[in-house]
Amino acid sequence: MGRLSLAVRLGMLLGVLGASAPALPDENLPDLGDVSQGLVSPLAERRAGEQSMQQLRAGGGYFDDPEVNAYLNALGQRLLAGVSGSHPEFLFFAVGSAEINAFALPGGFVGVNTGLILATRSESELASVLAHEITHVTQNHIARQVGAASNSQIAGMAALLAALVAARNGSGQAASAAISTTMAVQAQSQINFTREHEREADRIGFTLLDQAGFDARAMSGFFERLQQAVRGQEGSTPSYLRSHPLTHERVADAQDREASVPYRQVGDSLDFHLVKALLRSYDGQPEEAVADFTSRLAEKRYQSRTATRYGLAAALLRAKAYGRAIREIDELEDEGIQHPMLDAMAGQILQQSGQRKAALSRYERALTRYPQHLQLVHDYPRTLLQERRFADVVRFAETALQTWAGDAVLHQLAAEAYAALGKPLQSHRHQGEYYAALGDSSDAIEQFELALRSGSVTASDTGELLAVETRLKSLRGNRDQDRKNADAASGGPGLSSMRQAPGGPARPPLNAL
């Protein structure tokens, strides 16, 4: 069996992420066999995916919006209910890019560009894309593509591909360094998923779509619309069609499958329309977004009047027209419409207009109804912090972290509150967890080291110290192993050894405090 060069294997993985590359005929591919479980362990795949996610966060590719990401995860979990057998724990997330694309990373991480969400006309169309990407993971397509590589090489490739994706979204120094290498240049011209993998993802994805109660015809309908949109427009092919090349055979197969299931009309959830309206409210200047939603309402150009009015409120918040914004939410609620996104929006309008006590009351009422809505879980302690209610922030954040253990926002808020309370050990520990959640291992390690040297430790802090020491040991071990893996993959210092800039874009203006 022939071995693929590292650049070729990296190119295959880049295809998952939407790199523009010509699809080669199947006969040009070496016969890898079913090596997905033999040479690539599930643990190695998961670690590779985690590294990629860390790089995406550090490079600014991750779209940090709790409501958008929670919706994608709910949609993905509905589809996963139809998957038989074991599979990795999936995480679905948005990428802040106007390009129409979606991709799967090793280990169950599925990204969807915000441009693709906005391009879908129905929830079933969006679900069809997720079903396709889910299948790439559950059928071990990624592992098969890079199966000839060792676990350490896969980890190194994952770090590099994530940096390349981040670079296209405005990245930091690590991504710039990665994209300048010969390997990265070569990788751009390599192949995507094989045609057989694409056909299998279509076939199984169709079944998942149908079993979950969506309109099974949405898959081919969405693909055909993408093709029609670019017909005769050279150079404007959506990224999704470049990384998931459609053939007439694939479209015909999809249409044949549709004929085998009875037609059923499937309505969209309110969540789908609210998320689209929220994303649309971020486009352009605030005044332009306000004008767009206003004209849509006046001309009745909408699929959901409720979502369009919600989008108008979001745009008005960006424009700092707080009075008009809160009236839109109040009028929707007067009509009997209840939804956690409306409560979160109302709370942010009150908070940003300086009515923090009213915002806190609103959040407290909403959290009794929707305790799992992460936007509310973030916004409530933020407002408590502004009111200098530090002990309340700590109590709330520590309780919430029992459910969302790796949540960067909650750790950051806890760190600030503990610092204000004069508890440096706890503050540095949470600040370290904040950096760790962003994939910034260097700063995370530094914060845990500061925690151990913080002094003023009481007898009640003994358990805290032990937890910090254990976490620090784990982080150092992961850092050292990642460096070894990246070095083994590239023959030189790996991306993991480069200092990463934490952060990336926070949620757009709605979270600006």
pLDDT digits (tens, 9 = 90+) for 468-503: 999 999 999 888 877 776 666 555 544 333 333 333
DSSP state of 26: G
Tell me the two tokens of residue 374: 């992460």
**Partners of 139 in beta bridges:** none
How far is CA 87 from each of CA 43, 135, 209, 245, 513, rounded to the nearest angstrom? 12, 10, 17, 26, 40
Distance separating alpha carbons of residues 495 and 482, to the nearest angstrom = 9
pLDDT digits (tens, 9 = 90+) for 5-14: 333 333 334 3
**Beta carbons of 503 and 62 less than 8 angstroms apart:** no
DSSP state of 104: E
Phi-psi region of 136 (alpha: psi -120 to 50; beta: other; left: phi over 0): alpha
Distance separating alpha carbons of residues 22 and 342, to the nearest angstrom = 45
Say how far residue 31 (Cα) sits from the centre of its chain: 33
**Beta carbons of 45 and 143 less than 8 angstroms apart:** yes
Residue type for position 434: Y
DSSP state of 495: G
**Beta carbons of 114 and 98 less than 8 angstroms apart:** yes
Q: In the β-sheet with 91-95, what is the strand arrangement from edge to edge?
A: 91-95, 109-113, 102-105
**Beta carbons of 16 and 103 less than 8 angstroms apart:** yes
**Beta carbons of 88 and 105 less than 8 angstroms apart:** no
The residue among 348, 423, 422, 424 whose CA lies nearest residue 386 is: 348
- For the chain, count helices (H), then strands (E): 25, 3
**Beta carbons of 142 and 201 less than 8 angstroms apart:** no
Q: pTM here?
A: 0.80
Tell me the two tokens of residue 61: 């590719």
Question: What three-state secondary structure class fits 219?
Answer: helix
The pairing of strands 91-95 and 109-113 is: parallel
Q: Cβ atoms within 10 A of the Cβ of 443, count? A: 18
Distance separating alpha carbons of residues 215 and 209, to the nearest angstrom = 7
How far is CA 452 from each of CA 356, 412, 413, 462, 465, rounded to the nearest angstrom? 36, 18, 20, 11, 7
Return per-residue pLDDT of the chain as tens, 513 residues: 333 333 333 333 434 333 333 232 333 323 323 444 545 678 877 887 888 888 788 778 899 999 999 999 999 999 999 898 888 899 999 999 898 888 888 889 999 999 999 999 999 999 999 999 999 899 877 766 665 444 445 555 555 555 545 444 444 444 444 433 333 333 333 334 567 788 888 889 999 999 999 998 898 888 777 776 555 444 555 555 555 655 667 777 777 888 788 888 899 999 999 999 999 999 999 999 999 999 999 999 999 999 999 999 999 999 999 999 999 999 999 999 999 999 999 999 999 999 999 999 999 999 999 999 999 999 999 999 999 999 999 999 999 999 999 999 999 999 999 999 999 999 999 999 999 988 788 999 999 999 999 876 676 788 889 999 999 999 998 888 777 766 665 555 443 333 333 333 333 333 322
Distance separating alpha carbons of residues 243 and 23, to the nearest angstrom = 9
Distance separating alpha carbons of residues 33 and 144, to the nearest angstrom = 8
